[in-house]
Amino acid sequence: MLGKYSFRTRVNKLFYAAAAASAILLFNTVMAVKRDDFKTSDDITFYLRHQGFARTITRPEQPDGHEVLPASPYNVVEDSVRLHGHTLAAIVQHKDVSVPLKVEVHFLKNGTIRVRAQEEEPYVARYDDTQRHILRGESHGQEYALAEDLEHTHEMVDGVRVHTVRYTDKKNAAFSVRITENPWTLTYLQNGVPVVELNSKGFFHLEHLRSKPDQETIDNDTTGEWKDTFLTWTDYKDRGPESFGMDIRFVGFEHVYGIPEHATSLSLKTTNGADEDGYTQPYRLWNLGVFEHELDDPISLYGAIPFMAAHNTAATVGVFWLNASETLVDITREKKEGGSGSVTTHWVSETGVLDLFLMPGPTVADLYSQYADLMEPTPLPQEFALGYHTCRWSYLDQEDVLTVSDKMHEHDIPYDVIWLDIDYTDGMRYFTWDYSKFPDPVAMQKQLAYDGHKLVTIIDPHVKSDPSYHIWKQGSENGFMIKSVPNSNKKPPADYKAWCWPKESNWVDFLNPDAADWYGEQYRFDKYPDSTKDLFIWNDMNEPIVFRMPESTAEKAATHYGGWEHRHVHNLYGMLNHKATFKGLQARESPAKRPFVLSRSFFAGSQRYGAIWTGDNTASWGHLRASIPMVLSNNIAGMHFSGADVGGFFGNPEPELLVRWYQLGIWYPFFRAHSHRYAKRREPWLFDEPYFSLIRNSVRERYRMLPYWYTLFCEASLTGMPIVRPMWMEFPEDQDVFAEEKVFMVGSSIMVAPAMDPDLTKPVSVRFPSHENWYNMHTHETHLGPSRRRFVVDLARTLVYVRGGSIVPTRERQRKSSAFMKHDPFTLHVYVGRDGSAAGRLYIDDGESYSYENGSFIEREFSFTSSSNSLVSRPSARTVGSAQQREYLEQMSDVLVESVVFIGVQARVSSATITVNGNSTSNLSLDYGNRRTDTKFTIHDLSVPVGSDWEITLC
C-alpha cells in the first residue's frame, strides 16, 4: 500500500491549479436543451391517431346536464364471457373491424386485478416479454385468487348485460369488478362504489397487426402507420401499426401522482390546456438524455415508470401500465359543484400487449404491499451507499483522488465514496485504466479502503469500435451487440454502429441473456484489471444515448435479440444494463456481497438493482426546488434509492445555494455531490466561512442519522413503502397537504421543510398536520398541529421536525466514514406524543453481506408509555432465535445503547432505573443540563448491549 503521504510532493499546487484551470475553462452559460432536437406530441403519429380516434368518440354533454355514454365501437361478443379459475375472459370486437380481441381479467389474491388485451389470433406475435423482465419470477410469482374465492354473476341493466365478479374471501370482500358488454367497460368497486373505470370514456382502441402493403403505399404513407419522419430521419415500420390506448378514470379523485421521470409538479397537471397552470402536451415516457433540461415540463427525461397513484380522503389506488415502448399519458380533470371531481387519464403505447394492473389499496400501506407483490421492493443496499458520495467529471488523476480524500479528513468531513468519470479509462475503453493518470489503481483503492472509503468507476453500455479492444472483439465475435436497421438486401444485419463518447461505438444487447451474462462476467476481478472488492459501478448514458441520432438515442428500427425492434424495448434497456452489472458484482465474490450500482436510466424493476439519480440538473434555485417533487415521484413509483446532484451538475452555485442544497440533499435517499468538468471545483473546504462549516454540519448530520436511514431501507425492503414520502402518505385525510411538494416526510417520523429561496428574509411556510406535537430536531421547540406557521430562516438554520410519538436512533460520534462507525454506540431520542406515548425501531446487520437473510441481524422495537412511565426495548416479531442470530448477537455484544434523550415528558421525573434481560436493576442518573423545569432530559452512560432486552422506568 502507498505510504500515507509518499506521493504528496505537489498536493496543494495540483489541487488549487486544477480548481483555477476549471474556472478558466468554464463558460458561464452552458447551452440549454435544444428543444427542436426532441419530439413533441405533434411529431408522434401513433399518438395523433389515437387522439383522432378519441375525438370521434367524445360527445358533448346534453343541455339538461345528463352525461351521455361515449359511443365506443368496442363491444363484447355475445356469450363469450367466461370465468375460468382466477381469469374472466371475453372476446371484444370493434363493430367495423373483423378482428376479435381477447380480453382477460386476472384476479390476484391480494385484490389486485390484471387486465390484458390483444388480438385473439395475432397476424404476428406482439412483444410480450416485458412481463418476464419486470414481474416476480417463477419462484416468487404472482399469487392468483382461488376459484372458490370468486363469484361471477350477470344481469341485464337498461338493456345492457353487466357481469360482476366479487371476491368472497374475508380479506377482499369489499372489492368487486363490473364489466359491461355494450360498450365494453370495466369498473373496479370498493364497497360497491366505483373507484377506477376503464373505457368509460370510450377511448380504448387497438391497432390490429396486418400484412405489409406494397412499397408505393408505404412511400406515400402520411399517417405514420408504416413510415415516420422526424427532422432528417425516416423510421420505416416493418410490422406496421400496432399501438393501443385506454382511458383510465379515477372516480372521486382530484390528485394523481407518479409516472416519473419529469421535472413537473408532484400532483400531476392536466395536459389538455384547460387549466391555466396546466400543459398542452402529454406526459411522455421514453427514456432520453435531455441535458440541462427545463423545468415545469412533461418532456421525457432519463427514466420511465408507468405507475400512477390516486389519492383522496377515503382511499389510495394505483395503476401499473406494463409496457416498455413509447407511452404518452394525457390527464384531464372533471370538477363537480358540491362534490368531488374525477381524473381521467388516457394512456397510449406504440407497441406490445395491453397489460395493466389495478391496485385497490385502499390504504397507502395496502397499495405498496400490492405493488411490491408484483415486482419486489428495494433490497437492502450496503450501508456505505447511504453515506456521502463526492463526484465530478472528472477527478484528474490518482493524486487528485487521494488529495481530495485527505482534504476531507483534514477538514473533518466524513465521506464514504469517491467517483471516477470517463477520463480514468484508456481512450474511453471501459474496463481499462489510463495508467499515465492512475499508475497504481490497486494501491489507490487500498489507500481509500484503509480509511473506510470506496471507489466508484463509470462503465457505459457503448463499446468503442476498435479491433484491438478485447471487449469490442469478444462482443462483436459472439454476436452480443445490437444489430443495425434491417436493409432490403436480405443480408444478416451488421452490428449497430453510431457515435458516443469514444466516437464510433457499438452497444451491448442486454436482451440477449448470453450477452448480459458475458457483460456481467467482465466485472470479475480477473477480468476487470486492477479492480478490488472496494470498487463499485456507475452505469451512465444507458437510455441509451447515441450521438447524431434522432433525439440522441438509438433508432427505433435497430434490432435486438429475438428479432425485436428497439421501439419494443427501449425503456427496458437501462434497467437491463443495470441488472447485468448488479449480477456481475454479485458473482465476483463468494460468498456474495451486496452490489452498489448507480444507473441514470431506469424503468419499473430498476429498484431491485441499485440507485438512480435525477440526471444532469443545473446549479439554480429552480432546480433545487424541482428536486423534491422529482425524488418524491420516483419514490411514489417504487424507485426509492434516488437523489439529485447536490449543487447542480451544470454551472456554478453561489455559496448560499450550495449550502441550501446540502441542507436538503442530506435528506435524499441517495446523497451525492456532482459537477460538470467545466464547473469550478466545489469541494466544501474551498469555501469561506460560514459556508464551509454549514456544509460540513449538514454532512455530519447525515452520518448522525445513518441508523434511522438504514432502518428505513430495511422497512422498504419488507413492505415496499417509500423511504421519502409526500405528506399525504402520512396524513391521508388532510386535504391541505395533497398537493404539498415543498415539505416532505422521511419515513413516518421526520418532516423536512427546506429553505429554497435566495432571499433569506422570505419566510418558509410549514403546515404541522394532525393533532400532534412537532419538535424541531435541533432546538426541540414544539408546535402543535394542525396549524400553519411561517419562519424566517437564516442560512445556519434548517426546519427539520420530528413527529411526536417517535423514537429516533442516532450515532453521535463523528468518524471518517460509516465503516468506522460500525461498533459505535447508539443514542435513542424519545419524542413523546400528545397521548404520552412514543415508538420506534432500529435495524442492524453487517451492512454488506446477505447473512441477514439467514437471521444474522438485530431488530429492536422501542416503546414508551406515560401510563407505566417506562421505555422498553424488545426484539421485533420477525426476530427468530436461530443459531446465526445468536452468533451475530455475540459479535455485536460490544455495541451499546449509550444514551436516551427524552423530549416532551410532561410529568416531573426525578429518578430512573433500568432492568436488563429481566434480571438486574440499576439506578440511573438524569441530566437536565441547566433546565430543571424543562421537559427534556438525558440518561447518559446507559451502556446496555443493543441486542438485549431492557426496560427503563421513570420515577
Report yes or no: 820 and 840 within 8 Å, Cβ to Cβ: no
**Residue 953 has which C-alpha cell?**
422506568
Q: Distance between CA atoms of 725 and 176, rounded to whole angstroms?
A: 29
Q: Distance between CA atoms of 516 and 587, rounded to whole angstroms?
A: 13
Instruction: Give me the helices (H) in 773-904, please.
Output: 883-891
Q: Distance between CA atoms of 36 and 392, rounded to whole angstroms?
A: 29
Q: Distance between CA atoms of 568 and 351, rounded to whole angstroms?
A: 6
Burial (CB < 10 A; 0-12, 13-18, 19+), residue 59, is exposed
CA nearest neighbour of 652 among 677, 627, 626, 685: 677
| CA 152, chain centre distance (Å) | 38
- Residue 757: count of CB within 10 angstroms of its CB: 16
Terminal Cα-to-Cα distance of the chain (whole angstroms): 56
3-state SS assignment for residue 639: coil
Report yes or no: 668 and 701 within 8 Å, Cβ to Cβ: no
Q: Distance between CA atoms of 230 and 240, rounded to whole angstroms?
A: 17
479: left (phi over 0), alpha (psi -120 to 50) or beta: left
Q: Give the active site residues.
A: 540, 616
Q: Distance between CA atoms of 776 and 910, rounded to whole angstroms?
A: 25
DSSP code per residue over 654-681: -HHHHHHHHHHHTTSSSEEE---TTSPP
| CA 495, chain centre distance (Å) | 33
CA nearest neighbour of 485 among 477, 474, 493: 493
Report yes or no: 562 and 127 within 8 Å, Cβ to Cβ: no
Residue 574 main-chain phi, psi, to 5 deg: -60, -40
Report yes or no: 636 and 722 within 8 Å, Cβ to Cβ: yes
3-state SS assignment for residue 782: strand
Burial 81-99 (b: 16+ CB within 10 A, else e): bebeebbbebbbbbeeeeb
**What crossing angle do the helices spanning 441-450 and 398-410 adopt, rounded to 10°?**
10
DSSP code per residue over 275-312: STTS-SS-EEE-----TTPPSSB----SEE--EEEEE-
| CA 303, chain centre distance (Å) | 9
> In Å, how far are 88, 96, 113, 240, 351 from 206, measured between CA atoms?
20, 13, 20, 13, 10
CA nearest neighbour of 89 among 191, 171, 193, 163: 163
Strands 800-803 and 175-180, how do they pair? unpaired
CA nearest neighbour of 283 among 297, 302, 266: 297
